[in-house]
Amino acid sequence: MKVYVARQPIFDQKLRVCGYELLYRRSEKNIFEHVDDALATADVIHNAYLVFNFRELTEGTRAFINFPQNLIESEVPALLPRQTLVVEVLEHVEPTEKVLAALRSLRRKGYTIALDDFVFEEKYRPLIGLADIIKIDYQATPIDQQKRLIDALGHRVEFLAEKIETPFEYEIAKKLGYHMFQGYFFSRPTVVHGAEVHPLRHTLVEVLKELDKPEPDFRRIASQIERSVDLSYKMLRSVNTVYQKGRHTIQSIEQAVARIGLDEMRRWSYLMLLRELQTSESKELIKQSVIRGKMMELIAAETLPHVTAFDAFITGIFSSLDVILDETMHTLVSELPVEPVVKAALLGEDNELRGLLDTVLAYEQLTVDVDETMPDLSRYYVEAIRWSQTYDAEVNNV
């Protein structure tokens, strides 16, 4: 699958390239197609750091990357190397205490902070105190306002003029005292494309392999997750919302892994892996698989003492994997780090897990006859749907 990112050079006063702003693109068409800010940023970071050769993409300079409010509050920029990143605070980010605390933390760690498309308002004064660079839209800001800002703050921060489109505008910007310049006069954004090799899927499989060891190494698990910015963000968001482990907000991946515990970490990783496989065509099938897995877990926990509830959950969520990926189940289970009893059930071998799976499948297809020895399948089914809806509302809306 092809992935894309656009880059636009930023020049210093001697017209040397001192960085590139990296921009979200969905195709070779050099236009921004509307998408949620957080998803756009996650896509840019993923492609820039994990698909492309980052040093070649930025030619050894720094990447200017936009960050919306929720990613700043979660300190997602701290997952990236501080030497190569300029954290651009988007213009609609509110200077809340949580935002200011996150920016202070990033500055202490050595990150460079830039305010994007800055227009002065009194409420933004705390942000100015944390900024290293202020970017001003040359086209949208009156010259007298630009001059007042540069005269007042130019001794403390560097100013970057955006959207310089003509030689005349460049000459004026220089006289105003700008330190950096960006715009069509120098270069339009250019789109770079490359091929993605499913790094997120690979990361999750490596995490699951580590979790399957007799003594999993939490640090190694955290290190694997930190390789993916979007996965790291989902991990922190999930622990802080879905699992609510403790009263204090989790601030690091290693802390999250330790707090959530092995069983929930396995469950979370398998669910993320399943969603990584999702396409528009398989969305409903995956949703049903998640409900099926939770339903099997609930039944096993209450009625089947010889069946591990977690194994029942995994058997359910992967029971349609062959259809989702259009591959034989035998090939797929050979690559999954799951218990032998789960693999056997998925391959149709006769064991308690397989019997439970067949019962739940029959219930879904309305072909099961519930007698006195069967669990209350309707109750478990409704509870599984409720759990799935709650989880989706938190995890997928990140």
Question: Within this chain, do residues 356 and 324 fall inside the same structural domain, yes or no?
Answer: yes
CA gap 30, 184 in Å, rounded? 13
Question: Within this chain, do residues 128 and 23 fall inside the same structural domain, yes or no?
Answer: yes
**Amino acid at site 197:** V
Domain stop point among 276, 293, 321: 276
CA gap 241, 221 in Å, rounded? 21
Question: Within this chain, do residues 16 and 157 fall inside the same structural domain, yes or no?
Answer: yes
Cα dist. 142→89, 110, 126, 145 in Å? 22, 33, 23, 5
Long-range contacts of 17-20 (CB under 8 A, 24+ apart): 17/59, 17/61, 18/61, 18/62, 18/180, 19/58, 19/61, 19/62, 19/63, 19/64, 19/86, 19/180, 20/57, 20/58, 20/59, 20/61, 20/62, 20/63, 20/64
- CATH no. for residue 90? 3.20.20.450
Check: CB of residue 20 under 8 Å from CB of residue 58. yes
Residue 55 is encoded by which pair of tokens? 């040093």
Backbone CA torsion sign across 265, 267, 273, 278: negative
Is 0.75 topped by the overall pTM?
no
CA gap 325, 278 in Å, rounded? 9
Question: Within this chain, do residues 164 and 18 fall inside the same structural domain, yes or no?
Answer: yes
Question: Within this chain, do residues 151 and 15 fall inside the same structural domain, yes or no?
Answer: yes
pLDDT confidence of residue 373: 46
Question: Within this chain, do residues 378 and 335 fall inside the same structural domain, yes or no?
Answer: yes
Residue 168 is encoded by which pair of tokens? 């005349």
Domain stop point among 260, 276, 292: 276
CA gap 32, 55 in Å, rounded? 24
pLDDT confidence of residue 271: 74
CA gap 327, 12 in Å, rounded? 53
SS3 at position 159 = strand
Question: Within this chain, do residues 75 and 16 fall inside the same structural domain, yes or no?
Answer: yes
CA gap 385, 292 in Å, rounded? 9
SS3 at position 181 = strand
Q: What is the mean pLDDT of each run of 10 residues along the chain (398 residues)?
A: 82 90 77 74 82 80 93 87 92 91 94 92 88 94 93 91 92 94 86 57 76 82 71 65 51 73 77 69 79 91 88 88 80 76 93 93 75 68 84 49
Check: CB of residue 179 under 8 Å from CB of residue 13. yes
The number of distinct structural domains making up the chain is 3
Range of the domain at 253: 198-276
CB atoms within 10 A of CB 68: 18
Question: Within this chain, do residues 272 and 288 fall inside the same structural domain, yes or no?
Answer: no
Torsion of CA 290, 295, 298, 299, to 10 degrees: -140
- In this predicted model, what pLDDT tens digit does every residue of 177-231 receive, in sequence order? 999 999 988 888 888 765 444 545 667 777 888 887 888 888 888 877 766 655 6
pLDDT confidence of residue 196: 47
Cα dist. 156→9, 215, 363 in Å? 24, 51, 68
SS3 at position 38 = helix
Question: Within this chain, do residues 114 and 245 fall inside the same structural domain, yes or no?
Answer: no
Domain stop point among 152, 174, 195: 195
Question: Within this chain, do residues 56 and 190 fall inside the same structural domain, yes or no?
Answer: yes
CA gap 7, 175 in Å, rounded? 27
Name the pairing type of β-strands 17-24 and 180-181.
Answer: unpaired
SS3 at position 137 = strand
CA gap 152, 320 in Å, rounded? 63
pLDDT confidence of residue 389: 75
Question: Within this chain, do residues 36 and 162 fall inside the same structural domain, yes or no?
Answer: yes
Residue 40 is encoded by which pair of tokens? 């756009």
Q: What is the 3-state secondary structure (H, E, C) of 303-359?
A: HCCCCCHHHHHHHHHCCCHHHHHCCCHHHHHCCCCCCHHHHHHHCCCCCHHHHHHHH
pLDDT confidence of residue 146: 93
Kindly give, in sequence order, each residue whose CB lies less than 8 Å from that of residue 382, ignoring residues fewer than 6 positions away: none
- In this predicted model, what pLDDT tens digit does every residue of 1-15 receive, in sequence order? 567 888 999 999 888
Question: Within this chain, do residues 312 and 335 fall inside the same structural domain, yes or no?
Answer: yes
